[in-house]
Structure 1
Amino acid sequence: MDILYWIIIGITFLVSFIALIYPILPGVLFLAAGFVIYGLAFSFEPFTPFFIIVQVLLFISLFIVDYVGNAYAVKKKGGSKAALWGSTIGLIAGPFVIPVAGILLGPFIGAVVAEMIFQRKGLKLAVSIGIGTVLAFIGTTLIKVLTQAIMIGYFYFQVL
């Protein structure tokens, strides 16, 4: 039975990384689910107050990195809140509308279309803003991969 629990925990961790590509999945919740499953199946004893504080801070940082990274890139490129909303909608819809490439094309198209329609910006500026959102997405995704790997590594360090 222990092997089954470890497989389930591993799957929840894997899904948390898949959620970086399909943002409609609640990746952080799958990560937390792995911790809770371990606690229920084995013991919550390894989860010291320090462990919980570190994990909660890292969970919060995952949300902050996501929002701040995209908002900063849009603002730096001269974009508006419309571009931020457009890129977010594109990020969620893109992978489903255009499999594989949609993860990058979705936020780009969303930001460009939003800027051109709602802010009446020219194509050149809108494309620049769209490129900024894609670069921000790539950068924040890399940071989130590293953060999640640290969280999982720290989890294994505590429990093994």
Structure 2
Amino acid sequence: MSVAGMILAVVFFTIGVLGTILPALPGAPLIWLGMLIYGFFVKFQNLPLVFFIGQGLAVLLIFFIDYLASIWGVRRYGGSREAVWGSILGGILGILVLGPFGLIFGPFIGAVAGELYRRSPLDKALEVGFGTLIGFLGGAVLKLAIEAVMIIWFFMAVI
């Protein structure tokens, strides 16, 4: 075991988990990167290719959850196809306009705009927008659970 490698890995894990909560940081990729850095320190002893492929699939699952969580929230709260597209476009434009906070507020604004474009009443549009926030929070909980499994798997492999 490499103490320096372990310290770096734990720093990346911590920043990665914070990135799941704070939208400015790419959470799961940082966790995976911490594992890769540790692997270089120990010449990949106890960390075979299958381990990194499994961890990479977990990262992809987290991206998939990110994508679907807001859409689920829109649909769960009765949003239209326009609201779904609005939440997707809002997420993309939100990052560009609002920076990291655009990941949270962009889909909300986009879903509301999509419902208003469809001529839904304002209270309905706001409810659908709220659904994107619920989806985001639910997705964050799922992502944290998967990241915890990733980190536990890492420690089980190296200790």
TM interval, shorter chain, is 0.7 to 0.9
Q: What pairs with 1:26-45 in structure 2 (closer than 5 Å)? A: 26-45=26-45
Moved more, 136-145 or 86-95: 86-95
Between the two proteins, the alignment pairs up a number of residues equal to 153
Moved more, 32-41 or 17-26: 17-26
The 1:74/1:141 distance shift into structure 2, 3 A limit, reads: same
Q: What pairs with 1:120-139 in structure 2 (closer than 5 Å)? A: 120-139=119-138
Shift in Å, 1:4: 3.2
- Alpha-carbon separation, structure 1, partners of 2:138 and 2:146: 12
- Alpha-carbon separation, structure 2, partners of 1:49 and 1:95: 33
Shift in Å, 1:47: 1.8
The 1:104/1:26 distance shift into structure 2, 3 A limit, reads: closer
Q: 1:45 is aligned with what amino acid?
A: Q
Unaligned 5+ runs, structure 2: none
Q: What pairs with 1:1-160 in structure 2 (closer than 5 Å)? A: 2-76=2-76, 77-79=78-80, 80=82, 81-87=85-91, 89-90=93-94, 93=98, 96=101, 107-116=107-116, 118-160=117-159
- Post-superposition Cα deviations, 1:24-81, rounded to whole Å, max 9, x if no partner, equal 3222221111011111111212123442342232122111111122222223422321
- Alpha-carbon separation, structure 1, partners of 2:48 and 2:114: 46
> Residue 111 of structure 2 contacts residue 128 of structure 2 at CA under 8 Å; is this kept in 1?
yes
Compute the TM-score of the two structures, normalised by the length of structure 1.
Answer: 0.79
- Post-superposition Cα deviations, 1:102-142, rounded to whole Å, max 9, x if no partner, equal x86564344324532x4443211111111110111111100
> Residue 112 of structure 1 contacts residue 126 of structure 1 at CA under 8 Å; is this kept in 2?
yes
Please identify runs of 4+ aligned residues in structure 1 that moved more than 4 A.
87-92, 94-97, 103-107
Q: 2:7 is aligned with what amino acid?
A: I
Aligned Cα RMSD in Å?
2.6
Shift in Å, 1:158: 0.1
SS at match of 2:47: coil
- Alpha-carbon separation, structure 1, partners of 2:124 and 2:87: 11
SS at match of 1:19: helix
The 1:138/1:89 distance shift into structure 2, 3 A limit, reads: farther
